[in-house]
Amino acid sequence: MLRLSQGQLSLLEYCPRRYQHTILESLSVPASPELLTAQQWGDRFHLLMQQREMGLPIDPVLEADTELQTCLSQLQAQAPQLFDTTGEIFRQSEHERSLTFQDYWLTGVYDLLRLWRDRAEIVDWKTYLKPQKQQHLQRDWQTRLYLYMLAETTDYPPDALAMTYWFVRVESPDTPTPAPQQVRIGYSAAAHRQTQKDLERLTQKLTDFLAMGLPFPQLPVGSDQCANCPFAVRCQRGFAQETVVSTLPSLDEIEEVPI
C-alpha cells in the first residue's frame, strides 16, 4: 500500500512529474548551506519541544543554544496556555496518526496533539523567519490532511477540531528578540466534505497515473512552476533548455525536516 503524506499530496497536486522524480524515483537536489543550517535549527527546536513534553532534561540543550532558549522563553511568556494541561485527557508530542483511504495509506506526524473531552487541537511548530498567511495555511495539505485524519479517527465532530501554527522564530523590527506568532484554523463539516472530495480526486488521479506507467504527465510548456524547478533540465522545460542552472526555493518555502 503506497504511503501518502501531506508533502506528497502537495507535490502530486503541484506537478505529477515532479512527484514521480521525487517520490517514486527518489531523486533529490543538494541543498544550500544556508538551507541546511535553517533545517538543522528547526530539527533542534522540534527535538527540544519533544524532550520537554516527555519530561526529559532540556537545560543542557538550552545552554548550548541561546537562540533556542530565547525562542522557548518568548513562547512560554506569550502563550502560557500552550503549557497548561488543565482539563486535558490526552497530550502527546510527535504523535503519529494514519488512515487507509482508497487503497492508500495516509500518514501524518503531529508536533503536539491536545485532547479535551469536548474538543481537540493540533499544534504545529514552524521555524520560518516570516509567518505564513492564514489563507495559505487553510489551503495547505498539511492543515487539511491533519484535520481530516483526526476527524476520521476520533469521535470528535469537525467543528470541535482546530489546528494552530506557532511561528516561533519570527523576526520583529521593533524588538531584538523573536516574537512568536500564531495562526489558528478551525474546522467544519463542510471543510471535511470538501477535503474528502479532493482526496478522492487526487488518489484516483494517482491510481490512473500508476496504471499507465511512467512517465507521469508534465505540466504544459511555459508553466510558471517550471521556471525554478530543480528538475526543469530533466523535463526539458523553459529556461532549463538553455542552461543547467536551477534556482533553489527560498527558506520560507521549505518545510522543516520531520524528526
Complete domains list, the chain, with CATH: 2-217 (3.90.320.10), 221-249 (no CATH)
**% of the chain with per-residue pLDDT over 70:** 91
In this prediction, residue 172 carries a pLDDT of 74
In tens, the pLDDT along 184-213 reads 999 999 999 999 999 999 999 999 999 999
Exposed/middle/buried for 53, CB within 10 Å: 0-12, 13-18, 19+?
middle
Q: For 73-119, how does the pLDDT look when each residue is reduced to its tens digit (9 = 90+)?
A: 999 999 999 999 999 999 999 999 999 999 999 999 999 999 999 99
Residue 17 pLDDT more than 70? Answer: yes
**pLDDT, tens digit, 9 for 90 and up, residues 133-153:** 999 999 999 999 999 999 999
Beta bridge pairs of residue 123: 112, 164
Assign 137 to helix, strand or coil: helix
